[in-house]
Structures are given as structure tokens and as C-alpha cells.
A and B are shown apart, each in its own frame.
Chain A
Amino acid sequence: MFSRNPIHSVIYLIGCFFAIAGHYLLLNAQFLAVVHIIVYAGAIMVLFLFTIMLMNLNEETEQHKPAIARMGAVIASGLLMLVIVAVLRRTDGLPLPAEQNVYMGTIQNLGKVLLEEYQFPFEFASVLFLTAMIGAVLLAKKDKQIAK
């Protein structure tokens, strides 16, 4: 976040995403770990890198906010973190449930839940994707017509 070159920020963010995928693996969510790596490191980060290179943003002449705004940002988010951590520090650890199903995050189980309980939102996700695809294509295409 603090690095001046946006490409460095993207590289660090990819490292952070791999760390989060490792946490998913530790939490027995194998399917989500794989999906996370494919979607984030594979698709979203490539999009970011492509956009940054398209805009030729790798020069380090980026303007920064004035010092007072930056200090305000640091103070505001620091206070938010202080409040959340202070609230969470007092929580007691609940005991874990007695019987634990470690195969809960497998593809078999998740697919069953996804297509039985959450069938309707699943279909709506496809509608959302269609809308996003049409929107992205339209945004990229309209500009070309203006240029002509």
C-alpha cells in the first residue's frame, strides 16, 4: 500500500492472497483455497496488472495527498483498528463442538450444499456475471465509437 510503484503493490497483494489461501488450507477449506488462487491470483491480479501497464503508470511521479489528509487517514484507520481489537480482546473462547467433520470443505460436500440449499442465489450469480460481462464489453466498446 505504501510503495510508490503500483506494480510493486500488485506483487505484494498477490503474496497476501497466497497467504490467505494457505489459511484456507489450514482451515480445511480445500475447495475454497483452490478457487481463491484461481480467481484472485489468476484472474483479478492479471486484470490489475494489465490495466496498470495499459495506463503506463509505472513512473513514480504520482501525486500524493497533502500531509494533513494522510495523517488523518492513518489516525482514522488506526482508531478503527484500536476499537475493533479492544472489543475482540474481551471475547472468551467458546469450546469447539464435540463432533467435528473435517471433510466439510471438500468439493463433494460444498457442491451438495450449494446446489441444494443455495440453488436460487447460485442461479442469480450467473445472471450477475452475465450483466457484468455485458457491462464491461459495453464500456469498452462505447469508447471506441466515440474515438471514431
Chain B
Amino acid sequence: MLLNILNTVPIQYYLFISAVLFCIGVMGVLFRRNAIIIFMSIELMLNSVNLLLVAFSTYHNDASGQVFVFFIMAVAAAEVAVGLAILVTIFRNAHSVDIDELKNLKW
């Protein structure tokens, strides 16, 4: 028999863990200069929001939240594929993925 975990673990704990994960992602984006690490931090932020969506979807007995998570995963996969292709192109041209050296667009 399946049980609902939210009977034992209150939903606030999922709010807290999502907030902490999101802030770790924000810190990673601000902290590092390596563009790949910044991408991974963005993935972490997307995942924290996904976790919260699933938690509230279980909480409200509504499958729409899980469908949304499914769409977010699809968008994240597409974003990573295109973003890494762009990064590889940048690396071939500039021989670096350091975001502080990519200022050709700066006026």
C-alpha cells in the first residue's frame, strides 16, 4: 500500500529545501567564471523548482503539476543541448569558456 509522505514530512520542509537549492544555484551563477559551471547551476535552479512543483502536486492531488514538471524537463534538455553547442563554438573561436573574457559584444 502506498502512503503519502506528506503525512509525515510537512510541506514546509520541501519549501525550505527548494529555497536552499535555488540559492545555491544563484550563488553558483554569481560566483564562478566558468560558463559550464554556470550552466550546471542553472540546472540546479530548474530542479529546485521542479521539486517544489511535484511536492505541491502531491499535496493538492493534482496531476497538472507533474505534467508541468515534464514540460520543464523537456525545455531544460533542449536548452542544455543548444547551450552546450554554443559553448563548444565559443571555445573553438576564443579558446576559453571564461565569461569575463567574452566581451566582444561590449561597446
Pick from B58, B67, B84: contact of A113, CB under 8 Å: B67
SS of B interface (majority): helix
B5 and A65 within 8 A (CB)? no
- Chain A residues with CB under 8 Å of B71's CB are 118, 121, 125
B36 and A105 within 8 A (CB)? no
CB contact under 8 A between A20 and B36, given known A76-B30, A104-B61: no
B80 and A73 within 8 A (CB)? no
Interfacial residues of chain B within 59-102, with CB under 8 A of chain A in the complex: 59-64, 66-67, 69-71, 73-82, 84-89, 91-92, 97-98, 100
What is the interface residue range for chain A against chain B? Answer: 35 or more
Q: How far is the CA of A125 from the CA of B68 in the complex (A)?
A: 12
CB contact under 8 A between A88 and B12, given known A6-B36, A64-B33: yes
- Chain B residues with CB under 8 Å of A110's CB are 63, 66-67, 70
- Chain A residues with CB under 8 Å of B88's CB are 51, 54-55, 139-140, 143
- Chain B residues with CB under 8 Å of A78's CB are 23, 27
SS of A interface (majority): helix
Q: How far is the CA of A62 from the CA of B41 in the complex (A)?
A: 17
Instruction: Fill in one digit per residue for A26-53: 1 if any B CB lies within 8 Å of its CB, else 0.
Output: 1111011001100110011001100110
B97 and A43 within 8 A (CB)? no
Q: How far is the CA of A16 from the CA of B38 in the complex (A)?
A: 16
- Chain A residues with CB under 8 Å of B100's CB are 63, 65
Pick from A1, A20, A32: contact of B41, CB under 8 Å: A1
CB contact under 8 A between A10 and B40, given known A73-B27, A77-B30, A80-B23: yes
Residues in chain A within 8 A of chain B (CB atoms):
1-2, 6, 9-10, 13, 16-17, 20, 23-24, 26-29, 31-32, 35-36, 39-40, 43-44, 47-48, 51-52, 54-55, 57, 62-65, 69-70, 72-74, 76-78, 80-81, 84-85, 88, 91, 93-94, 96-97, 99-105, 109-110, 113-114, 117-118, 121, 125, 128-129, 131-133, 135-136, 139-140, 142-143
Of the A-B pairs whose beta carbons lie under 8 Å apart in the complex, a sample of 10, sorted by A's number, is: A1-B28, A13-B44, A27-B55, A36-B50, A57-B36, A62-B34, A65-B31, A96-B59, A121-B71, A129-B78
Residues in chain B within 8 A of chain A (CB atoms):
2-7, 9-12, 14-16, 19-24, 26-28, 30-34, 36-37, 39-41, 43-44, 47, 50-51, 54-55, 57-64, 66-67, 69-71, 73-82, 84-89, 91-92, 97-98, 100
